[in-house]
Amino acid sequence: ETGVTQTPRHLVMGMTNKKSLKCEQHLGHNAMYWYKQSAKKPLELMFVYSLEERVENNSVPSRFSPECPNSSHLFLHLHTLQPEDSALYLCASSQDWEVSYGYTFGSGTRLTVV
């Protein structure tokens, strides 16, 4: 499969649950990103990884924990989330983290925290 694949597509979790979002890319890209997209708000960059090392963390609460075991896979581990964390979580990749190459996005995980 080509492109960027995210699983699951939809997730409902309670505030005490622990879950993980998965992202996989088969484009040979070196950089991967997690974004949060809330209704009528700009995309918010959460984490950037380049060659499996975190290069950017935009003051994201510790209840979100990223993991990048290799350049093709990216996870977002979730625990003790709040209802305001409900949003679409998008994964993206690019050839390099210097963004002028543009991004390829996954279809996202629609997260609802109850």
Partner 1 sequence: GQNIDQPTEMTATEGAIVQINCTYQTSGFNGLFWYQQHAGEAPTFLSYNVLDGLEEKGRFSSFLSRSKGYSYLLLKELQMKDSASYLCAVPDSNYQLIWGAGTKLIIKP
Binding residues for partner 1 (CB under 8 A): 4, 40-43, 45, 48, 56, 90, 97-100, 102-108, 110
Q: Using CA atoms, how far apart are residues 79 and 62, in angstroms rounded to an integer? A: 9
Tell me how far, at minimum, the Cβ of 48 lies from partner 1, in Å.
Answer: 7
- Looking at the Cβ atoms of 72 and 104, the one nearer to partner 1 is 104
Tell me how far, at minimum, the Cβ of 62 lies from partner 1, in Å.
Answer: 21
Tell me how far, at minimum, the Cβ of 103 lies from partner 1, in Å.
Answer: 7
What's the first-to-final CA gap in the chain, in angstroms? 33
- Looking at the Cβ atoms of 15 and 99, the one nearer to partner 1 is 99
- Looking at the Cβ atoms of 10 and 16, the one nearer to partner 1 is 10
List the beta strands (DSSP E) in 9-83: 10-13, 18-25, 31-37, 44-50, 53-57, 64-70, 73-79
Tell me how far, at minimum, the Cβ of 75 lies from partner 1, in Å.
Answer: 18
**Element spanning 104, H or E:** strand 104-105
Contact 76, 21 (CB under 8 A): yes
